[in-house]
Amino acid sequence: MSNGLFGIERETIISNSKVRDIFTPFSPIDIVENLLGREKEVSQIVGVINSPGQHVLLYGDRGVGKTSLAIISHLLIKNMKIIRGKFFIKRCCSDDSFASIVQYPLKSIGIDYELSEITESHTQGGGAKIKAVIAEGGANSKRTRSCKRVVEINPSSPAWVSERLKDLKGVFLIDEIDALPRKNDKKRIAELIKLLSDSRSQFKLIVVGIADTGDELTAGHPSVERCLKETHLARMEDVALRNIIVEGMKKLQITPTEKVIDTIVDISAGYPHFTHLVCLKCAENAIVSKKRTVNMPDLEEALKDAVKESEGALKRRFESTLRGTKNEAEYRCILLAAAHCSIPEFTLSALRSKLLDRFNINIPQRVVSRYMSNMIVYRGKGVFDRVSKGVYRFSDPRMPSFIKMIEVQRSIAQ
């Protein structure tokens, strides 16, 4: 069918179908039933939050499902009344500081301050003490005439903040802590956790961020380990990815072939974002063309759209690697063979055997090594990083999925 004026007809059909509520590649899961394959992790987080003095640190690669897991755990703790009290979510960005993060819970107990004043007192080195308006009787006071007074506060100090928050009950989810530009602010959050834990506070923190190790997110704070339960979130299992496809398609009354399901699972390589993205594109096309099945040629069309909608950073890295190479076809083979190597790191000999298995190409080790060196562009823009002599990893762990989407689509088309 035609897409109608400016593609609006197509958009109308798609939005009426609710497919974008089922496959959500660009937003975290916020409905309990839609979180698949993370039962063990949810129960671990709930258990930790329910243990006196214990808080959660959830970390892992970009895009493995950290925010979704944290949001659903937070929601369950609230809805099932595991903890009664106040619930806050703060998503950090590069403008944030310790004081701007704790602003939300402090405001809920009536301490309201202007962040511009904090920045000013920081730059003047004045001990970060500032004046703030305090609502007497708390922000939720039922008294009709609220009484306000001005006092000195110190929201950049974990000790001061802990004194104020320790009697509060509830859970504070701090997401994307890796985005904080100053190491000191991460350390202050770790200090706050330690202080809350020491006072057996029922105000609990779930801290989430991208990292290889937990202490990257606590800036190596030494004594926080006992009270901060670290959970490394691994990539999703194939069986859970398969469930995302099957359950989502079932809701839309669409049936993908087994080959399509297996191919999407293989492309996803543990990243639910790619499962949602490819399924969304398959389902949108099926809905618009009133089809009830998805087969390999449909998948090829969907992959073209999925590549177009992929994150710019992945596209730029991939394209800049191939741009200007004399024998693009060989580089493509090496990229695809590397995308099929085990993760996160692979050796030159593993890469050579993948080249032989998949493409029947036998290249001497020194030649493969030269190709790899050409694909490591310094200053963080290349596809690969060299881990040690003869050992490599993709600089963005999602790159293998992106490469597979391009190559699978090309191979179906041929």
Ligand X SMILES: Nc1ncnc2c1ncn2[C@@H]1O[C@H](COP(=O)(O)OP(=O)(O)OP(=O)(O)O)[C@@H](O)[C@H]1O
Contact 255, 294 (CB under 8 A): yes
* Neighbour count for residue 150 (Cβ, 10 Å): 9
- Per CB under 6 A, 90 contacts ligand X: no
Among 13, 14, 67, 191, binds ligand X (CB under 6 A): 67
Among 37, 138, 220, 390, interactor with ligand X by CB under 6 A: 37
CB of 52 to ligand X, least distance (A): 28
Nearer to ligand X, 133 or 210 (CB): 210
What single DSSP character describes residue 290? T
The number of CA neighbours under 13 Å toward the Cβ of 99 is: 21
Exposure string (b/e) for 282-298, b if CB count within 10 Å is 16 or more? bbbbbbbeeeeebeeeb
Nearer to ligand X, 66 or 340 (CB): 66
CB 275 within 8 A of CB 264: yes
Among 14, 19, 38, 102, binds ligand X (CB under 6 A): 38
CB of 28 to Mg ion, least distance (A): 6
Applying CB under 6 A, does 24 fall inside the site for ligand X? Answer: yes
Closest-CA residue to 234 (of 68, 398, 396, 60): 60
Site residues for ligand X, window 217-256 (CB under 6 A)? 244
CA–CA dist 68, 74 (Å, integer) = 10
Q: Establish if 24 lies at the interface with Mg ion (CB under 5 A).
A: no
From the CB of 102, what's the least distance to ligand X, in Å? 21
Q: Is 179 in the site for ligand X (CB under 6 A)?
A: no
Nearer Cβ to ligand X, position 194 or 317?
Answer: 317
Q: Would you report the helix, strand and coil content of the chain in percent, each value rounded to 5?
A: 50, 15, 35
Site for Mg ion in 49-88 (CB under 5 A): 67
Q: Report the interface residues with Mg ion, using CB under 5 A.
A: 67
Q: Can you give the binding site for ligand X, defined by CB under 6 A?
A: 24-25, 28-29, 34-38, 62-68, 210, 244, 272-273, 276
